[in-house]
Structure 1
């Protein structure tokens, strides 16, 4: 059986793979993108029905195309994001082959490149870009046994309130996904308990500018590493219903019961850390700090932006904060389902190369792997804070394409150079 050969193979046809293809084409690098499903499949089938992008359309896009339906300050729904990425791939004529799964990548022995086993046969490539992103394996803590009589799903499997059985629901995790899902369930009439851990809580907008703009002009998107102790801190922000600042006290006033970080389960009862007030206070401090920096920026640059004192108003603490629940009998509370909004881990089991540390995390510098010829794209903090966004992955892809192009030039020189013959 013949073996297909290509210079660079990109694994994954989401936003990272599409961006990588554009820059490889610009650099003249022959390449192929393999996607096991459809382009941007996770936007279509691994998100809840009402999800919209967390960044406004003017900000969270590729430079070469605007969203066709959502205006610049709107938040495109997930289907439009997926259609946008597919349309972009078509516009740049990206060589994406859908329905092909990469099963294994190994380095060739005694010669350059890699052997790639796929569901459609073998491919050999000089370079491989892992553009599968961070949302590979849902993380569900092994706290509540499967036979506990509760429906348990990860946030990636949640679609809408009608999916859940009658009764109350516990949502574990108050990042963007958890808080939006909890809010939707509350609005549907569900009794909702929300487990709140450490988080940042930026304003959705302030003084007429979206928080994405503020983080840009304040240089925060360019931060290269998380601050000390913030590696596992989530961000509570939402574009739902045109975008609004997340306010946990307001959610509690509307009927949601807040609890601290989920710790353990025993004999039908869930226990929570006594850290609810501390976590919410931390989010408040993050909000105020950003407002302070924004005000200082306005004053320093003489910008004509309206003041917004109401943004600093903190409502009274609800009873669930002043008298927090530390243990909850789930049956007595009427809880029949748990949604684990607890994030994801990457899955690189198919990548059989020396590119990972002892915990299985990629070893790289700005996506350039410790294993020559292997590259990573689409990971949070790949080069900076903005790497997780559509626009951020586009810039990261440009850097990797430049590196791959440079290596090709060295190898081309090596292949063309003739060994010098010694004088007789």
Structure 2
């Protein structure tokens, strides 16, 4: 049997892949969007009940569609985001195949790619001239190697599995990691009255509001979300840092781990090792808190400089001062003695492109790309963090990134068509 052929196969039906499809539809390019589950399912399936965006609603822009609700400076909840995305999907009809997982992508000798699909009906094959990988940057949850050696009575889940406090057994909870998910889940449990133990990592933090506006609105006006990665202040080290922790909950506020500690949360440095019920931590808590606060104040200072340079009238400048200091560094914890019955691992994700048979990845398994385009002819990526700017991978940058990928593909298909037409004309002569 001859495999189905399309000009473009978009692998992944999240907002990034569907945005590429939107632009391809505008130009009448035949393509298919292959989604392993259902479109934009991750928003409903991998966010906790009290999840909110950490970026203001006005950041939410997709092709032909933008947030137009009553609270542009607010923060949509998980269910509101799902509803907003459903509204976008009602505005166009992508050639979407759901419950269709791409298990292998390989280059064809004749050019283009062959995709092996796992569907509800069995295995199929599709060929294409261009393949756009929009499966997300880091799909595999990370757990430490020693997690399996901890006492079996301790419930362990990854942050993507967390929904609410009632999901966990009674008792104290250890949250490991203070990126956006870890810090917000620790806050969620703290507000529910749970005794929370928090292993603090190296993530920086940022003020929610400063000098009368949301900090992210100031940063957008300053052009930080539009600056290409190679030009970003601080270079590669800056863009590889964990995102700043902050929350949009209850209208938005700072996440202040020191205040949590003053209210009874137990803070530790980076988790180093563990066995049975005993854990060890690095003596890094004080340093981590100080560095996070220094970043907070540094961002405020950058905003101050922008306000002064532009002659903007705004409330006076302020700086954060610590409300709590650790008396000492606690480097050991007995989970049983502390009444800890569960652990939420919030230490990130890793890439998994083993299904792609192409030389497009570095030693860490990450795509080698320039604005999503690789040196493998016809293979591109979309929806990756820092693919082009700080806005990449966020609602604010998805439209621009998707348009660039789609335009690159459309231009290439037109060149191929023109070349074929020229050859046919030459033969006819």
Q: Counterparts of 1:6-405 in structure 2 under 5 Å?
A: 6-62=6-62, 64-67=64-67, 71-109=71-109, 111-120=110-119, 121-145=124-148, 148=151, 149-221=153-225, 222-225=227-230, 227=234, 228-230=236-238, 231-307=240-316, 309=318, 312-318=319-325, 321-405=326-410
Shift of 1:186: 1.1
TM-score of the aligned structures, taking structure 2 as reference length: 0.92
Matched pairs, number: 418
TM-score of the aligned structures, taking structure 1 as reference length: 0.93
The CA distance in 1 between the partners of 2:354 and 2:168, in whole Å, is 33
Distance 1:147 1:261, change over 3 A: closer
Bigger shift: residues 148-157 or 299-308: 299-308
Q: Quick check: 1:54–1:75 contact (8 Å CA) kept in 2?
A: yes
Q: Quick check: 2:149–2:275 contact (8 Å CA) kept in 1?
A: no
The CA distance in 2 between the partners of 1:162 and 1:343, in whole Å, is 23
Distance 1:30 1:73, change over 3 A: same
Shift of 1:418: 2.6
Does 1:414 pair with 2:422?
A: no
Shift of 1:223: 4.5
Shift of 1:242: 1.1
Shift of 1:290: 1.1
Distance 1:103 1:337, change over 3 A: same
The CA distance in 2 between the partners of 1:302 and 1:63, in whole Å, is 34
Deviations 1:295-329 (A, max 9, x none): 121122121222253xx2313333xx231211111
Q: Quick check: 1:174–1:234 contact (8 Å CA) kept in 2?
A: no
Consecutive unaligned residues of structure 1, counting only runs of 5 or more, are none
Distance 1:135 1:83, change over 3 A: farther
The CA distance in 2 between the partners of 1:418 and 1:107, in whole Å, is 25
Q: Per the alignment, in what secondary structure is the counterpart of residue 37 of structure 1?
A: coil
The CA distance in 2 between the partners of 1:261 and 1:362, in whole Å, is 29
